Chain A
């Protein structure tokens, strides 16, 4: 006899919920009774991070909450959600259900960012944010930001990326590397990267932005209140110009 004839429905749902989202998707093609369990809200609740609905209710698309859980999960992995007055993007990694965030320029502290002589806030068709920070020129280049650790998935290795683009006239980043530092619960890790595309082997992403890795960290099973703090700076005597900042991305390391 088949598993679906012997075991109660909730048992089959639980078994599938102990696999992975990918296995669950595949399971819907096994049989009609198995599909009913593989597509059920009970099964997919296990894959959806517990605070997702709370994030959605505070996002720019609160109506998503009414979707069945599997559809909601797939939607969040394909369509990033704008949060916090459209200054932050949230999405799920499809394979693992882990949480991914991008803090946009308006959610960061861009030094001299409020002075139009140095920085412009423009609408970029490639950006998912309403406005991005376009550098006119500056001597003191510094961008800071932070994210509440509790927003991230527990027990997860995260990579942090500086996401940006270059204009043809860009200058000033070849002379000295940009310093990146990531601090989590007071533990600071620094990295120096030259972000000039002519110096660095960077390929554009699918969304045409460039990214450089700015650091990494691991989240514990139970994180207390605290912040992951990010800082990028290059403050040597050269004038720097012609880059646009999409944001800082916190992304679970892929091989998990």
Chain B
């Protein structure tokens, strides 16, 4: 591989091209392996495909580029605080439209930081919610029979299952 390249081009599952800096790509284990295995010098025209749709990939790359400087060099507490605020803003997104896809992409790309952040975001959405609200947030259909529901109520008398 060549170390002279600063950014690489990748394809989304929709076939769109995206640029990502090498230092940002290193946040993903599979991308990092790819960097080590594949030739990315200027005279190499191989463009790897990432099985993530364009809309999601834009967000994933945005996250990587923001977090790469800190991941590669460490950072001060004030930077960490700033990054935390940025993460909160970054995660303000529609659940079904994009959060699910971010979760899948972070899982597929082995990005621990983004995966934990997205899981925490989803968890915060369901905290304190009723059962029917949780179903609504995560687009889940109630598949319990009325007998099963009655049994669940008995098992957890303190919980509201409305």
Q: Which residues of A contact B (CB under 8 A)?
A: 1-4, 6-8, 11, 14-20, 22-23, 25-34
Q: In whole angstroms, how far apart are the Cα atoms of A198 and B161 in the complex?
A: 44
Known: A7-B104, A23-B128. A29 touches B152 (CB 8 A): yes
Inter-chain contact B119/A14, CB cutoff 8 Å = yes
Interface size class of B (residues with CB under 8 A): 20 to 34
Residue B85, interface by CB 8 Å: no
Decide if A30 touches B131 in the complex (CB within 8 Å): yes
- The answer, among B104, B120, B130, B138, for a CB contact under 8 Å with A18, is B120
Complex: A173 Cα to B159 Cα, angstroms = 43
Contact A25 B159, CB 8 Å, known A6-B104, A16-B123, A30-B134: yes
Is B72 in contact with chain A by the CB < 8 A criterion?
no
Main secondary structure of the interface of A (DSSP, over half): helix
Binding site secondary structure of chain B: helix
Tell me the minimal C-beta distance from B122 to chain A in angstroms. Answer: 5
User: Once the chains bind, are A31 and B144 in contact (CB under 8 Å)?
Assistant: yes
Contacts of B158 in A (CB 8 A): 25
A113 to chain B, nearest CB (A): 40
Kindly state the separation between the CA atoms of A3 and B139 in the bound complex, as whole angstroms: 7
16 A-B pairs in the complex with CB atoms less than 8 angstroms apart: A7-B104, A8-B107, A15-B126, A17-B123, A18-B120, A18-B123, A19-B127, A23-B127, A25-B159, A26-B159, A27-B131, A28-B155, A30-B135, A30-B138, A33-B143, A34-B140
